[in-house]
Structure 1
Amino acid sequence: MFVPTDSFGGMTPEEKAADALKKLFTFVAIRTVLNEEEEREKEPDDFDLSTELKSFVDENPMIRSDEWLSKLLRHSAFEMRASASRILELREEFAEEDFKWERVQDDVLQSMKKDNGELMKNYMIANVFSMLKPSECLLLNLLSLCNELSENDKKQLSKTA
C-alpha cells in the first residue's frame, strides 16, 4: 500500500508508531520511577522527588519524549537529573525485556477486525433500513433480536410458545 510521504510530517507509519511507542515507554518509566520513590524509606529532610517529578510532568507536557527528557536532564535539582537518567535506563529496559511486541500486533489486528466488522454491520443496517418499508423494518428488527438471543433464551421461548 502506498502511503503519501506527507501523511505524518514526512514520517513513515512505522516511524510514527515508533515515536508513539517511545513516548509510551517514557511514561511507563516515569511511572516506575514515581512508584520506586513512593515505596522508598525517606528521611524528613530528603528531597521530595515524587512531588517534584509529578509537578514537572504536570508543568511540562510531553510532546516529544527526547526533548522532554533533555529538559529534565538540565533541571537545577540534582535529584531531578538523576531521575531523568533512571527514566532513560528504564524505558530502554522495558522496550527490550518487558514489552510484548507480538501481543500488540495480535491485539491491534483482532481489535481492528472486530471493530471493522461492527462498523460495517451498523453501516449496512442503517442503509438497508433506510430503503425498507416500516413493516419490513419491524421484521428485520425481530430477526436481529432473535440472533442476539442466547441458546438458553431460545430454549425458554420455545417452551412457552
Structure 2
Amino acid sequence: MHITAVQGDITEAAVDAVVNAANSSLLGGGGVDGAIHAAAGPRLLEACRELRRTTLPAGLGVGDAVVTPGFDLPAAWVVHTVGPNRHRGQTDPAKLASCFTSALGVAADAKARTVAFPAVSAGVYGWDAAEVARVAVEAVRGWDDENPGAVDEVRFVLFGADVLAAFEQALAA
C-alpha cells in the first residue's frame, strides 16, 4: 500500500472513498463532517437518516465505521467513522486506531482501492495532531500487513500545515 500525506480539501480528493470524521448521530456537524455533508449534497443526509432508521438506531459507535454513497463528491463512497472525543474522557488510543482500521475494512468491502483520511479526532475532539498521526500511520500500516493488497493507496488529506507536518513526521518514522 502506498501511504502519503498532503495538504488540501478532502472533499476534492480524487479517490474511491473519503473518510468522514463523523459524530455518532451521522447527521452532519462542523469541520470535516460539515464540509463532506455540504459537498456531497442533501442525499448524503438522507442516506445517513436511513441508516439511523434501520441499522443504526442508536447511532454509530466510537471507533466503528459505515459506508454510504459519495453522491456529489468525486469519491464514490463516504466511510463515516466516529473518533474518540478527549474532552469527554475518551483517551484510549486503541479506539482511535479502530477508526482507521474499521474505515479501511469498510472501504475494502465496498471495493475502494484508494482512500482519503482526515486527521480523525484532531481539532475539536482534542487529540494532539502528532498523537493522531502516530496512531493513524501505525494502524494503517498494521491493517495493510494483515490485509495485503486489499487497498492500493491511503492518502491523509489534511487541512493545516501543522497537521501535515505531524503526519509527514509519523510517515518518516
Q: TM-score with structure 1 length normalisation?
A: 0.25
Say which one has the larger Rg: 1
More helix, by proportion: 1
Q: TM-score with structure 2 length normalisation?
A: 0.24
Structure having greater relative contact order (Cα 8 Å, sep ≥ 6):
2
More strand, by proportion: 2
